[in-house]
Chains A and B, each alone.
Chain A
Amino acid sequence: MKMNRREALKLGALSVAAAATMATVTGCNEGAKPASASKAGKKVCKHKIVVIGAGFGGLTVAKELKKRDSSFDVLVIEKNETFMSCPFSNTYLGKIAGVNLGTLVHDYAQPVEANGYEMLHAEVTSIDRSAKQIHTTKGIVEYEILVMSPGIGYNYKGQFPNWSDEKIKHIQRIAPGALIPGKEHVILERQLVDMEDGNVVITVPSDVKYRCPPAPFERASMIAAYMKKEGIEGKVIILNATNKVSKGAAFKETWKDLYADIVEHIDFATIQDVDPVSKTVTYHLADEMEDKGYKVKTVKYSVLNLIPNNISSPVVEMSGVETTTDGFKKVVMNGCSFQTKTDKDVYAIGDVVAHGIPPSGQTANWTGKQCADEIAHRLHGKAFELEVKKTPVKAGNVCYSMVSDNPEEAIMVTHDFSWDGSLIKGAGHVPKAPSGIYRSSATAKATRDWYGGIMRDLFA
C-alpha cells in the first residue's frame, strides 16, 4: 500500500519503535529488516492486492495487474527462493539435448525488476479473512484483495489411510510424486541416472483431477526414450487406477510404434502398498471373475514414481472458502469469474479453481490474465464480464507432451473454453500431424517454443 502521510504520522506518534520499522511497514520486499521479520505474528506490511504463490498463475496475475495499472500495489508471497518449472520437466528426466536444471530454474529477481510488483519469500501459515490478514513465517501481511494461486498438495492420507506419517515421509524421499517442482524432480532424476537394469514404475492418481493430466504418460515416454538411449534393460510400467489416459490415442500410438517392449500401461490398477525394502508395489487389478472383483498383484521396481492423489494446496483450507466435496477440494467460484463464491475480496486461479478447465501451466497463465482483468476493472470502478461468458475462447489451453528423442517428437492437445451456465468448461482436441500419425518433429519444436515463450512471459 502507499500509506498516506496522515496514517504515517499517526503510526509514528503511536510509538518511536513503529517509526523505526517504517520501511518494513510500508512494503515487505526483500529489503525488509530482519529484526521485524524474525517475529512471526507481527504486522510487517499492508498491500492493496496480495497474491499467494509465484507459479504460472501467480506471476501472471501480478504482472498483468501492474501492466493494466502501474499504480496498483501488488505483493506476491512465495515460499521458494527460486522458481522451478513443472511443465517441460519431463524432457529433463528424458535427457533431451540441451535441457538441464538451468532450463527449468529461474530467479525471481528478474520479474520483480521487470514488472514492478513486490515479492515476499515466506510461507503462509494461516489466513484470517475477517481481519484480512495473512499470517506468514515472516509476519502478518494485510490485504484488500487476495488472489490465491497456491497450486497443489498431495493427499497421501486420503489415498493411503493406513500409512503412518513416518511412512509417508519415507515414501516421499524414495518415491517422490514429482508434480511439485523442486527436490522431487531432482530426486527422481538422480534415481534414473543411478539406475541399472530394472523397471521404472509410475503410478497415476486415482482421483479424476490432478495437475497436468498427461504428465505420467509423457514421463513414461521420456523415461522409455532415456532407457532406450542408455541401453537400460527393463520396462516402464504405468499403474493407472482408471482406464483414462489424457491424449490417450496419441500416447498409445507412440508406445506401440516406439516403445512396444518398454512401456506397459495397466488399466484399473489401484496401488495398495509399497515395500521399500523389497522394492515392491502391491496393487489391485480389476477382475470381475475374482470373488472380490480384483486380483492382488505385485511388481518389482528399480525406480518408483508414486504420483499420489492431488488436493488443493493447504492455503485454500486456511482461507476457509467453500470448496467442492471431492478429494481435490477445488475452490468454488462466483459464477463466470475467478472470484471465490465465499468472499468477494478473495480470488483463486490456476490448478485450484473449480471450473472445468485443465490444470496446466498454460491454463494457469490464462486464468491469471482473466483474473487481472476482473480485478483491474473492479478497482477502476468499471463493470466487467469475462469474454468467455459471451464467446467461446478458441485454444485457451494448449499443452504439448514430448514423447521421443532422436528424433525429438511430441504430441499436443488444445482446449476451447466456454461458459456452460455454471462453469467454464474446456473441450479438448488432439490433432494428428499431416503425416497421419499424432507425433511429429514439428510439434517437438513447438513444445520447445511454447516453453521458451511462456518463460519469457513470466520472467522477462
Chain B
Amino acid sequence: MDRRNFLRVVGATGALVAISPSTITGRLYASTGLYESYEKVQLLNAQGTPIKLADLKKETNYVFNYPYVSTPTILLDLEDSTAKDVKLKSDDGEEYIWKGGVGKERTVVAYSAICSHQLAHPTPDDSFLQYVQKDKKTMACDHGGVMVCSSHLSSFEAKEGCKNISGPASAPLASVVLEIADDDTIYAVGVLGPDKFHEYFKAFKPEFKKYYEGRREAKKKVKESATMVELTQYTKEIIQY
C-alpha cells in the first residue's frame, strides 16, 4: 500500500482516525484472522543504508530476520509480475487472500522462511529452504520459480503467495507483508498466513543458544530496521536437491 492509499482510507471515515495505524493496516491486509501486524521495520543493507526496490537483483534470495530477531524472511524480486488476489488455505482449512507482490510491476514478494511442514529454515550454518530460479529444476518440483525445502522436498509457488504445490507440506509459507515508501525504500509491516513462529520457538532451543544467546533473546521482536543480505552472505552452505 502506498502512502496515498493509506491516507485515503484514513480520510474515508472519521472514526478510523482514532484507531492506531497498525490496526488499520491490519484490516486492510486481512480478510481473516490470519494477518498479524508487527513492528514496522525498514530494510537496510549491511552498511546500514536503506534498500530501495531498484537495488534488488532479480531472482536473488535476500534474507532478513522478521518479525522476531531469529525468524528468517526471504525477499525476492521475481522479475515477472505475480498473480493477484490468490486464495490460499492454511492446513486448518482457514482461507485467506494473498494480494500479490509490491513494486511497479508487482514483482517483489517476501515469505517467512520457515517451512510450513517441519520448520526447516536458513541458519548462519546452512539453509535447506530457499527460492529456486525459473530456469532451474529440483527434485522437489518439476519447475523453477518456486521456494524449495530440501529437508523433506516440499515446494511452494513463489508468484502465488507460496502456495504449497508438492511434497509433504500441507500449507503455504506465511508471507511477510511489505510496504513501499514514496522514495522506494522497503518496509515490512506484518505477517499473513499460517506462520510457524510458535512451533519454531518450541523446536530449536539449542540453536537459539548458539546464534542468539538463548530463546528469550531469540523471541524479541525486530524494531525499526532489519539488515537484509543475500542468502549466500547469511548462511555458509545452501543445500538444495
Chain A contacts to B: CB under 8 angstroms = 67-68, 362, 365-366, 369, 393-395, 398, 412, 414, 429, 431, 442, 445-446, 449-450, 452-454, 456-457, 460
Interchain CB contact (< 8 A) of A453 among B152, B202, B241: B152
The reply to whether A414 and B139 contact each other, CB–CB distance below 8 Å, is yes
Q: Is B128 an interface residue (CB 8 A)?
A: yes
Q: Is the CB of A362 within 8 A of B152?
A: yes
New A-B contacts (14) at CB < 8 Å, excluding given A446-B128, A456-B199: A369-B168, A394-B139, A394-B141, A394-B153, A394-B167, A395-B167, A412-B241, A414-B139, A442-B237, A446-B151, A449-B151, A454-B152, A456-B119, A457-B117
Q: Give residues in B with beta carbon < 8 Å to A.
A: 91-93, 115, 117-120, 126, 128, 139-142, 150-153, 155, 166-168, 170, 199, 202-203, 237, 239, 241
Question: Which A-chain residue is minimally distant from B150 (CB atoms)?
Answer: A446
A459 to nearest B CB, angstroms?
A: 11
Shortest distance between the CB of B88 and any CB in chain A (Å):
17
Cβ-defined contact, B118 with A429, below 8 A: no
Asked if A450 contacts B151 (CB within 8 A), the reply is: yes
What residues of A have a CB within 8 angstroms of the CB of B93 in the complex?
Answer: 68
Q: Which residues of B contact A366 (CB under 8 A)?
A: 168
A277 to B232, CA, bound (A): 59
Asked whether, in the complex, the Cβ of A431 is within 8 Å of the Cβ of B151, the reply is: no
Name the residue on A nearest B204 (C-beta): A452
A/B pair count, beta carbons within 8 Å = 69
Nearest CB of A to B94, in Å: 12
B237 touching A67, Cβ below 8 Å: no
CB pair A450 B152 closer than 8 Å: yes
The chain B residue with its CB closest to the CB of A414 is: B139
Nearest A-chain residue to B118, judged by Cβ: A453
Contact A442 B239 (CB under 8 A): yes
Asked if A394 and B239 make an inter-chain contact with CB atoms under 8 angstroms apart, the answer reads: no
Complex partner residue of A398 from B92, B152, B155, CB under 8 angstroms: B152
14 residue pairs of the A-B complex, CB under 8 angstroms, read A67-B91, A362-B152, A394-B153, A394-B166, A395-B166, A414-B139, A431-B241, A446-B128, A449-B120, A449-B151, A450-B152, A452-B118, A453-B117, A457-B117
The answer to whether A369 touches B170 (Cβ under 8 A) is yes
- Known pairs A395-B139, A398-B152; A453 contacts B170 (CB<8 A): no
Complex: how many Å from CA A65 to CA B19? 41
Which one of A393, A394, A450, A454 has the greatest number of beta carbons of chain B within 10 Å? A394
Collect the chain A residues with CB atoms within 8 Å of residue B203's CB: 452, 456, 460
B115 to chain A: closest residue by CB = A453
Whether A398 contacts B128 by the Cβ 8 Å rule is no
Distance (whole angstroms) from the CB of B169 to the closest CB of chain A:
11
Chain A residues within 8 Å of B91, by CB: 67
- Bound CA–CA A454/B120 (angstroms): 11
Residues of B close to A450: CB separation below 8 A: 151-152
Q: What residues on A are CB-neighbors of B119 within 8 Å?
A: 453, 456
Q: How far is the CB of A359 from chain B (nearest CB, A)?
A: 17
Determine how close the nearest CB of chain B comes to the CB of A187; give it in whole angstroms: 30
Verify A449–B202 contact, CB threshold 8 A: no
**Complex-state Cα separation, A63 to B168, whole angstroms:** 15
A394 touches B140 (CB 8 A): yes
Chain A nearest CB from B194 CB (Å) reads: 12
A195 to chain B, nearest CB (A): 32
A68 to B170 CA separation, bound complex (whole angstroms): 12
> Chain B contacts of A454 at CB under 8 A?
118, 152
Q: Which residues from chain B contact A453 at a C-beta distance below 8 Å?
A: 115, 117-120, 151-152
Given contacts A454-B152, A460-B199, whether A395 and B237 have CB atoms under 8 Å apart is no
A429 touches which of B120, B126, B139 (Cβ 8 Å): B139
- B202 in complex: contacting residue of A67, A429, A460, CB < 8 Å: A460
Q: What residues on A are CB-neighbors of B117 within 8 Å?
A: 453, 457
Q: Cβ of B140: which chain A residues have Cβ within 8 Å of it?
A: 394-395
Contact A414 B153 (CB under 8 A): yes
Give A431 to B155 CA distance when docked, in angstroms.
18
* B150 CB, min distance to chain A CBs, angstroms: 6
Residue of A nearest to B203 (CB): A456
**3 A-B pairs with the lowest CB-CB distances in the bound complex, closest first:** A453-B118, A395-B153, A394-B166
CA gap between A449 and B127 in the complex, in Å: 11
B165's nearest neighbour on chain A, judged by CB, is A394
In angstroms, how far is the closest chain A Cβ from the Cβ of B206?
10
In the assembled complex, how far is the CB of residue A239 from the closest CB belonging to chain B, in whole angstroms? 33
Which residues of the partner chain A approach B237 to less than 8 Å between Cβ atoms?
Answer: 442, 445
Q: In the assembly, what is the distance between CA of A431 and CA of B46, in Å?
A: 36
Q: How far apart sit A394 and B151, CA to CA, in the bound complex (Å)?
A: 14
CB distance from B199 to the nearest CB of A (A): 7
A384: min CB distance to chain B, Å? 14
Closest to A373 in B: B170
B199 touches A365 (CB 8 A): no
Most chain B beta-carbon contacts within 10 A, residue among A366, A412, A446, A456: A446
CA distance A452 to B117 in the complex (A): 12
Q: How far is the CA of A445 from the CA of B151 in the complex (A)?
A: 9
Q: How far is the CA of A332 from the CA of B126 in the complex (A)?
A: 43
Q: Which residues of B contact A460 (CB under 8 A)?
A: 199, 202-203
Q: What is the bound-complex CA distance between A450 and B150, given in angstroms?
A: 9
Nearest Cβ distance between residue A200 and chain B, in whole angstroms?
Answer: 31
* Chain A residues whose C-beta falls within 8 Å of the C-beta of B199 in the assembled complex: 456, 460
In the bound complex, do residue B167 and residue A365 qualify as a contact, i.e. CB atoms below 8 Å apart? no
Q: Which residues of A contact B118 (CB under 8 A)?
A: 452-454, 456-457
CA distance A395 to B117 in the complex (A): 14
Tell me the smallest distance from the CB of A71 to a CB of chain B, in Å. 14
Could you say which residues of chain B place their CB within 8 Å of the CB of A398? Answer: 152-153
Q: Which residues of B contact A412 (CB under 8 A)?
A: 241
Residues on the B chain within 8 Å of A445, using CB = 126, 128, 237, 239
